Amino acid sequence: MATNVEVFTRKIVSENPATGEQLYEFDCASDDEVWTAVERAKLAQPGWNAIGVEKRVTYLKKFQSLLLDRKKDISEAITREAGKPYAEALLTEVLVVLDTTRFLIDTAYGFLRDQPVPHGNLAMKAKRGWIVREPHGVIGIIAPWNYPFSTPAAETLSALVTGNTVVLKPSEFTPGIGLELERLLREAGIPRDAFQVVVGDGRTGAALVESAVDKIVFTGSVATGKKVAQSAGARLIPVVLELGGKDPMLVLEDVDLDVASSAAVWGAFMNAGQTCLSVERCYVHRSIYPKFVEACVEKARKLHVGNGMDPEIEVGPMIHERQLRVVEEHVEDARAQGARVLVGGARLPEKGRNFYAPTVIADVTHDMKLMREETFGPVLPIAAFETEDEAVQLANDSEFGLAASVWTRNRKRGEEIARRINAGTVMVNDVLSCFGISEAPHGGSKASGIGRTHGRLGMEEMVRIKYMDSDLMPGMKKVWWYGYGEAFARQMEGFVDLLFTRSLMTKLRSGLKAAGVVKRKGQL
């Protein structure tokens, strides 16, 4: 049972960030409700696992076809609650989930097949071993608002297909999308207790971490991630933490300026800059710096800002006032320290209360918050570099390590630089799209998190590894068991030499010395 007594019912209200229209109001799930959901998920898990992967894959296929049919409705619901333009909702959320489902359908069976472990230890030759992948049990998933559908859906499907049951806590800003996911999964035939949603705020999330879940997959800010890790640490349950980023983009002197500047603008302003993989720092070779900055400014000016339901709109609102204030604080701090705000740099109240203009800022330095803390808004800060070494040093000078990109026409050079950057993903000549490759692992180093989602490595997070060993000679005592003595010690010396000496003569001599062990006397 939960230990904390709740006196008041807490409420969450979700709004359309473009219009302020109230969409949903929910009571936060109480600690007891969270615990009950987890208990139910625990009871349901053995049965869900027992139906086998082929059957679970059939549910995924049904889910995929339902999602395909409803792609428009789901994308619109995402735009309404999270604000991103409809095209982005379709491509970065619905399409990502359809493709993740395809990946899981294609690979789950092979992934869960026992994996033989051939070995080279002569003494153990009478043994066969293999790795068995077993579900953890109940996976608690805590999701953010910025990818309210693709993030929890990809994690949920990976957890379910590997035999876990799931309790999801969506963000308090996008509970409606979490419930859309629940509706789709239910309709696909997933049993009620195999996937449950508990709506609520941070406290509801904390209750989930403190409940009887067997693993937590958390996506959100570094500050919350640390709390989740501490709480999970107290129960010694494993966690995956997908946290923030401050992704650098390195633009070398030989790039196609038009292509690279378009990438910088899209990478910085997509989802109004509220993407963990957003370009948050742009470093450009001094020789092309003025031209590159000019191209970005020109392109930023042309962007259509407004309600994402309008298909012409390219940049939607930010999620809420608190996020706007962070952006304002970073921009003002940079301005005060001498950076040049070339376009944007202010709210757009005429569009609605949550709009901030796409902003390009030149001559930024690492003394500014804009280059050190996650801004998470439509801001593209640009700085110049002189040498490749300096560019790499600047890219690595961050507490974050989620992703990065290197831009050059010389792919070999780009790939060499990519190896020197400390990040979970480094793309050469593209930004962000790695999230759309279902086979690619997603996750960061340093403060950007622990563990991976997506791809085979994401599936590995959903299982615990069991090594199984089967002895082929059950009627024989092992030679290394008790009954030691002088003769045994000499035989074992011979055996060790036999295994590892490089001299043929010594090998032969050692083999003879060791042979006596087979007819060992006095063994217990």
- Which amino acids are annotated catalytic? 242, 276
Cβ 505 to ligand NAD shortest distance, Å? 59
Residue range at the interface with ligand NAD (CB under 6 A); choices 76-84, 105-113, 138-146, 415-423? 138-146
Interaction mask 358-397, ligand NAD, x per CB under 6 A: ----------------x-x---------------------
What is the distance between the alpha carbons of residues 351 and 470, in angstroms, rounded to a whole number? 68
Residues 36 and 212: beta-carbon distance below 8 Å: no
Q: Which is nearer to ligand NAD, 318 or 357 (CB)?
A: 318
Give the nearest distance from C-beta 15 to ligand NAD in angstroms.
Answer: 15
Contact call for residues 165 and 41 (beta carbons, < 8 A) = yes
Cβ–Cβ < 8 Å for 478, 277:
no
How far, in Å, are 69, 99, 100 from residue 435 at the CA level?
Answer: 23, 11, 10
217 interacts with ligand NAD by CB under 6 A? no
Shortest distance in whole angstroms from residue 287 CB to ligand NAD: 33
Q: Which is nearer to ligand NAD, 77 or 402 (CB)?
A: 402
Query: Of the ranges 184-192, 220-228, 304-312, 337-345, which one interacts with ligand NAD (CB under 6 A)?
Result: 220-228
Please name which of 262, 273, 267 lies closest in space to residue 297, comparing C-alpha atoms.
262
Q: x/- site string to ligand NAD, residues 175 to 214, per CB under 6 A?
A: --------------------------xx--xx--x-----
**Calpha distance 493→436 (Å, rounded):** 56
The pairing of beta strand 400-401 with beta strand 195-197: unpaired
> Nearest distance from residue 108's CB to ligand NAD, in Å?
22
Span of 218-226, 282-290, 328-336, 362-370 interacting with ligand NAD by CB under 6 A: 218-226
Decide: is 279 part of the binding site for ligand NAD (CB under 6 A).
no
Q: Is 5 helix (H, G, I), strand (E, B) or coil?
A: coil
Does position 246 interact with ligand NAD (CB under 6 A)? The reply is no
C-beta nearest to ligand NAD: residue: 205
Residue with Cβ nearer ligand NAD (296 or 423): 423
Number of chain positions touching ligand NAD (CB under 6 A) = 32
Pairing of β 115-116 and β 449-450: unpaired
How many Cα atoms occupy the beta-carbon half-sphere of 452 within 13 Å?
18
Identity of residue 13 = V
Residue 427 exposed, middle or buried by CB count within 10 Å (0-12, 13-18, 19+): buried
* First-residue to last-residue Cα distance in the chain: 50
Q: Does 242 bind ligand NAD (CB under 6 A)?
A: yes
Using the contact rule CB under 6 A, the part of the chain among 63-71, 139-147, 181-189, 250-258 near ligand NAD is: 139-147
> Of 135, 137, 176, 220, which one interacts with ligand NAD (CB under 6 A)?
220
Using the minimum distance from each CB to ligand NAD, give the nearer residue, 221 or 523. 221
**What is each CA distance from 374 to 245, 278, 329, 330, in whole angstroms?**
6, 10, 12, 9
CA angle (131, 479, 467) in 5-degree steps:
10
Which residues make up the interface to ligand NAD (CB under 6 A)?
A: 142-147, 151, 169, 171-172, 201-202, 205-206, 209, 219-221, 224, 227-228, 242-245, 276, 374, 376, 402, 442, 444, 449
